[in-house]
């Protein structure tokens, strides 16, 4: 089996996780910028984080012969502070030329506030100006449907944005068609408990158009499973999906989306 992990917060993970991922067939890992579990005290914290994502972490992954790529932004949780958000947005262009940066992400909404929406629009503008791919985080639980609609509207409002160059992540049963019907890619994040588990993800896949869907673990500093994608592949196999169909979903699809960046490559 081979697969791509398109959304994992590896700075929070151990070398054992890298070892387990390559043993399971991981051929590339992509790391969106996100919340650290605490609010950073200033723009310097983001500068250091972007250096870590573009320099140190690819070197750490290289020790396991695993290509590592990243996405840059200020995450929605910290974008309530508009002054900080503008400062962070101003330093992102300095990092966009680094060889493993794929685009802007994970941007989006957390509580669907007015400030979050303004910062989302500024990120969309930044991506359009620099012709970057976009990775979007959608809110959890009761905010998800409304937040996903707001995000789709914000992306559609900017005529420079090509939907096939945007992936909207953390979709669930009630948001997947909204995202796919608008022409975007959809990401299904696999959680060990409470949210989308492997069985639910496979249910979604069996009822949706799978050509623009990827699955990811989004593993981070919280309770999460770096091997969630190969475990979902095992669930697909148990349900009778062919090896070819599984390969298309966990390797072919992310490769097609991420391959829109000439920088992306697999091991
Ligand atoms: Zn994430």
Q: Give the CATH number of the domain where residue 138 resides.
A: 3.20.20.140
Surface-to-core class of residue 245, CB atoms within 10 Å of its CB (0-12 exposed, 13-18 middle, 19+ buried):
middle
Ligand 1 geometric centre to CA of 106 (Å): 7
* Inside any domain, residue 265: no
Strand partners, 69: 30
* Percentage of the residues of the chain whose pLDDT score is greater than 90: 96
Ligand 1 geometric centre to CA of 7 (Å): 6
* Inside any domain, residue 231: yes
Domain residue limits at 93: 3-258
Is residue 141 scored above 90 in pLDDT? Answer: no
Q: DSSP 3-state assignment of 230?
A: helix
Rounded distance between C-alpha atoms, residue 129 and residue 250, angstroms:
31
What's the pLDDT band for 134 if we cut at 50, 70, 90? very high
CB 18 within 8 A of CB 10: yes
What's the pLDDT band for 192 if we cut at 50, 70, 90? confident
* Inside any domain, residue 72: yes
Over range 177-199, report the average pLDDT. Answer: 92
Ligand 1 geometric centre to CA of 109 (Å): 12
Ligand 1 geometric centre to CA of 243 (Å): 28
How confident is the model at residue 195, as a pLDDT?
Answer: 79
Name the pTM for this structure: 0.97
Averaged pLDDT of the chain: 96
* Inside any domain, residue 116: yes
* Inside any domain, residue 264: no
What's the pLDDT band for 182 if we cut at 50, 70, 90? very high
Ligand 1 geometric centre to CA of 8 (Å): 7
Rounded distance between C-alpha atoms, residue 103 and residue 86, angstroms:
18
* Inside any domain, residue 263: no
Ligand 1 geometric centre to CA of 36 (Å): 10
Residue 267 contacts by C-beta under 8 Å, 6 or more apart in sequence?
22, 27, 28, 65, 66, 67
Ligand 1 geometric centre to CA of 136 (Å): 9
Is residue 227 scored above 80 in pLDDT? Answer: yes
* Inside any domain, residue 71: yes
**pLDDT 10s digits, 35-86:** 999 999 999 999 999 999 999 999 999 999 999 999 999 999 999 999 999 9
Q: Which residues surround ligand 1, an ion (CB under 5 A)?
A: 34, 218
Reading the block at residue 161, the tokens are 């944005």
How confident is the model at residue 214, as a pLDDT?
Answer: 97
Reading the block at residue 117, the tokens are 């929406």
Ligand 1 geometric centre to CA of 33 (Å): 7
Ligand 1 geometric centre to CA of 138 (Å): 10
Is residue 194 scored above 90 in pLDDT? Answer: no
Domain count, the chain: 1
Rounded distance between C-alpha atoms, residue 233 and residue 216, angstroms:
11
Ligand 1 geometric centre to CA of 218 (Å): 5
Strands in 3-5's sheet, in edge-to-edge order, are 3-5, 26-32, 68-72, 101-108, 133-137, 166-168, 185-189, 213-216
Ligand 1 geometric centre to CA of 32 (Å): 6
Over range 214-219, report the average pLDDT. Answer: 96
Ligand 1 geometric centre to CA of 73 (Å): 12
How confident is the model at residue 256, as a pLDDT?
Answer: 98
What's the pLDDT band for 193 if we cut at 50, 70, 90? confident
* Inside any domain, residue 267: no
Ligand 1 geometric centre to CA of 34 (Å): 6
How confident is the model at residue 142, as a pLDDT?
Answer: 82
Ligand 1 geometric centre to CA of 125 (Å): 21
How confident is the model at residue 89, as a pLDDT?
Answer: 98
Ligand 1 geometric centre to CA of 228 (Å): 14
Q: What are the b/e assignments for 183-219, b being 16+ CB within 10 Å?
A: ebbbbbbbbeeeebbbebbbebbeebebebbbbbbbb
Is residue 126 scored above 90 in pLDDT? Answer: yes
Ligand 1 geometric centre to CA of 216 (Å): 9
How confident is the model at residue 253, as a pLDDT?
Answer: 98
Rounded distance between C-alpha atoms, residue 230 and residue 200, angstroms:
15
């Amino acid at each position: 089996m081979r697969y791509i992990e398109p959304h994992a917060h590896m700075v929070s993970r151990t070398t054992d996780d890298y070892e387990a991922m390559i043993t399971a067939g991981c051929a590339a890992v992509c790391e969106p910028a996100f919340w650290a579990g605490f609010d950073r005290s200033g723009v310097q914290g983001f500068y250091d984080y972007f250096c870590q994502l573009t320099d140190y972490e690819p070197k750490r992954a290289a020790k396991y012969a695993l290509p590592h790529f990243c996405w840059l932004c200020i995450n929605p949780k910290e974008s309530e502070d508009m002054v900080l958000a503008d400062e962070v947005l101003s330093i992102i262009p300095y990092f966009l030329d680094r060889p493993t940066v794929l685009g802007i992400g994970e941007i989006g909404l957390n509580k669907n506030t007015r400030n979050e929406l303004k910062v989302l629009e500024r990120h969309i503008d930044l991506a359009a100006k620099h012709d970057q791919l976009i990775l979007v985080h959608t809110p959890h639980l009761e905010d998800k449907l409304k937040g996903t609609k707001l995000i789709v509207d914000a992306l559609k409002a900017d005529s420079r944005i090509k939907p096939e160059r945007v992936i909207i992540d953390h979709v669930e049963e009630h948001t997947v068609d909204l995202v796919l019907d608008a022409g975007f890619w959809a990401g299904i994040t696999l959680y060990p408990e409470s949210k989308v588990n492997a069985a639910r993800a496979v249910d979604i896949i069996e009822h949706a158009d799978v050509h623009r869907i990827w699955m990811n673990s989004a593993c981070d500093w919280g309770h999460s499973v770096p091997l969630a994608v190969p475990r979902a592949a095992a669930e697909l196999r148990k349900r009778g999906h062919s090896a070819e169909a599984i390969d298309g979903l966990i390797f072919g699809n992310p490769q097609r989306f991420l391959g829109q960046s000439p920088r992306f490559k697999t091991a």
